[in-house]
Amino acid sequence: MQLSPVIAIHLTAALAAVALGPVAIWARRGREQRTRLHRAAGYAWVTVMLATAISALFIRDDQLPNWAGYTWIHVFVPVTLGGLFAAFRALARNDIATHRKTMQSLYLTACIGAGAFTLLPGRYLGQLVWGQWFGIL
């Protein structure tokens, strides 16, 4: 597998989501509420998460164990879409606590968790990182 345009879009959106998530969370922490920053960073985060999830549907790998080209890591696509739906439903119901918990959980699972899995040996990004930096794989 090589760095195709779809993988480049996916990787760029995923890295943007990893960077934007803490900004959105930080903007609503503490005594000083930064509502505009929270909303702007939050909408940007949702946008790049949607781009990440949708672009993942076009990335297939026939070399790893898969089902119709989809590997086990693709389970994060419905998790992401379902989490975003649940978070916005909570907002519509004015349930801020559920919205906060859902978004924080989604950041940890879909950004940090999935990101860690992509660095495993045998995955494309894992081969790039570990092979280039440590000369292994």
Tokens describing residue 93: 């119901």
CA count, 13 A, side-chain hemisphere, 57: 9
Average pLDDT over residues 102-122: 89
Would you list the domain boundaries of the chain? 5-60+72-134
DSSP 72: G
Q: What is the pLDDT of residues 44-83, one digit of tens each?
A: 999 999 999 999 999 877 666 666 667 778 888 999 999 9
Rounded Cα distance, 109 and 4, in Å: 25
Judge whether residue 91 has pLDDT over 90: yes
Torsions phi, psi for 67 (to 5 deg): -130, 110
pLDDT score at 65: 66
Query: Torsion over CA of 112, 113, 116 and 117, rounded to 10 degrees?
Result: -150
Classify residue 19 by burial, with Cβ atoms within 10 Å: 0-12, 13-18, 19+.
middle
CA count, 13 A, side-chain hemisphere, 58: 13
Which one-letter amino acid corresponds to residue 130? W
Q: What is the pLDDT of residues 19-31, one digit of tens each?
A: 999 999 999 887 7
pLDDT score at 128: 77
Rounded Cα distance, 112 and 93, in Å: 28
Q: How much is the pTM? A: 0.84
